[in-house]
Amino acid sequence: MPPEANVEAALRGVGLFADVSEEDLTELAANARVRNFPRRQIVFSRGDPSDTLIVVLSGRVQIIVRSVDGGELILAVLGEGDVLGEPSLADGGPRSADAQTADDTTLLIIPREAVVSLARHDAAVAMTMLAYVSATLRRLTDLTEDLVFLDLPRRVAKILLGAPTGADGEVDLAMSQEQLAHRVGGTRQSVNGALRGFERRGWIAMHGRRVTIQQADALARFAGEVSGT
């Protein structure tokens, strides 16, 4: 399969472009480029121009805000098929956070103007674009709510429940305990204490850096994800 066909197939797998015409998809693919990034590489930094939309083809990208004194908060971890930079499609404002690869990652880089041009004559793309921006806003609202109203162990429980899980219950966090601490706004020691507490209750089992959920219902009740019976 020629490289341009691979790019078109990747674009077709993104919800934003799932229903565009073959002609428009071909033109979009012609403007896009594929780039490979090693682990822990900065993709873009806060304040950079928002001149591209980025699709994750493989690997994972962390969206991070950093304080002047070196503190970090991981807002999201994005994987295959996810999109970065969708808020900038609306206003073209600067990047509002850093994007850094969590492992070796392949990204599809699309010029913002190519996407905006497509949205100007395809109402379905414009509406889907709004849906993407709304989903990002909801995610950030939920994160803010959790940081304000939930204690750290419950925030850790929600991350475990929301992470991809294998058939054996093993959780793929794609991050170390230190990075998990940055995800929930705590310290590595406090996160380790929460995980050990879950393990003592029999809700999870820990094997080095791996975590297996053994009692998802109990963990969900603790996190407030479901009501008790």
Residue 18 lies in a domain: yes
Residue 228 lies in a domain: no
Q: Which of 110, 122, 6 is nearest to 55 (CA)?
A: 110
User: Do 207 and 136 share a structural domain?
Assistant: no
Residue 49 lies in a domain: yes
Residue 68, pLDDT above cutoff 50: yes
Residue 229 lies in a domain: no
Residue 99, pLDDT above cutoff 60: yes
pLDDT, tens digit, for every residue of 70-93?
Answer: 889 999 999 998 999 888 777 788
Q: Is 139 helix (H, G, I), strand (E, B) or coil?
A: helix
Q: Which domain holds residue 182?
A: 151-223
End-to-end CA distance of the chain: 54
pLDDT, tens digit, for every residue of 111-166?
Answer: 999 999 999 999 999 998 888 888 888 988 999 999 999 999 999 999 999 888 88
Total of domains in the chain: 2
What does the pLDDT read at residue 229? 39
Q: Which of 68, 91, 87, 89 is nearest to 76 (CA)?
A: 87
Q: Which of 24, 28, 29, 25 is nearest to 3 (CA)?
A: 29
Higher pLDDT, 89 or 195: 195
What percent of the chain lies above the pLDDT cut of 90?
Answer: 64
Beta-bridged to residue 106, according to DSSP, are: 36, 58
What does the pLDDT read at residue 4? 53
**Structure tokens, 124:** 């379905």
User: Do 175 and 69 share a structural domain?
Assistant: no
